[in-house]
Amino acid sequence: MRKTATIAIVLGLAATGCGDSPAGPSSGTRVEAVVQDSPAATPMVTGTLAGNVFASVGEGDRWTDVGSPNGITIPLQIAGRTTTVHGETSVPSSSYSRVRLVFQGVSARIARGSVVAGTTLASDTTIVLGGSDERVEMSVPVSTFTVAADARVRHVIVFDLRSQQWLTAAALQAGRVEDAALQAAVTATTRAENR
């Protein structure tokens, strides 16, 4: 009886000392994702992107969503203007070297009078982003950043859409921007901020 009680106490202490929760690994610092669209040297486009957008952080073949898809509107080609994809969210403590931006059902609405690839639009124009499934995933390598269990720091992911590269004459004619054009254009950076 004495051995059984000792074993039960040791197992109980081991279980409480581990700190594992049913949710899995401990959450680390907060992560926030924002999107911007840097203008061309001479911005000639007025418009917005609208649809469902979400972001993820990754390492190896593993992705962790920063949040669920959000229906947001992003202004095109406005310097210094960012739109929040996901506000501060906890992610598992780990190191991450990739970030991903996913568009689902997103379209660009370009205003009449905008100049795209030398063509002045006579009317408002809508261009669908992504292939026939209207979904595109843009995975971007970034400098490795470590998310630790430290509530005093947050990591901000800044995606730059660089629409001047994918708003082309071909996109206007087709009414669609294919996945590859978006994947080649979108860049990302990360920065740590004190909270």
From first to last of its 195 residues, the chain has per-residue pLDDT tens of: 444 433 332 333 333 333 333 344 456 678 999 999 998 777 689 999 999 999 999 998 899 999 999 999 999 999 889 999 999 999 999 999 999 999 999 999 999 999 998 889 999 999 999 988 999 999 999 999 999 886 688 999 999 999 999 999 999 999 999 999 999 999 999 999 987
| pLDDT for res 68 | 92
Task: Please indicate, yes or no, if residue 152 is contained in any of the structural domains.
Answer: yes
Asked whether residue 16 is domain-assigned, the answer is: no
Pairing assessment for the beta strands 62-65 and 115-116 based on DSSP bridges:
unpaired
Residue 17 belongs to some domain of the structure: no
Place of tokens 């962790």: 64
Domain that holds residue 125: 26-194
In this structure, which amino acid lies at residue 14?
A: A
Residue 174 tokens read as 């087709």
Q: Which of 78, 158, 76 is nearest to 110 (CA)?
A: 76
By the 10 Å C-beta count (0-12 exposed, 13-18 middle, 19+ buried), 130 is classed as buried
Residue 18 lies in a domain: no
**Structural domain contains residue 145:** yes
How many structural domains comprise the chain? 1
- Rounded Cα gap, residues 31 and 88, in angstroms: 5
Q: How far apart are CA 182 and CA 186, in angstroms?
A: 6
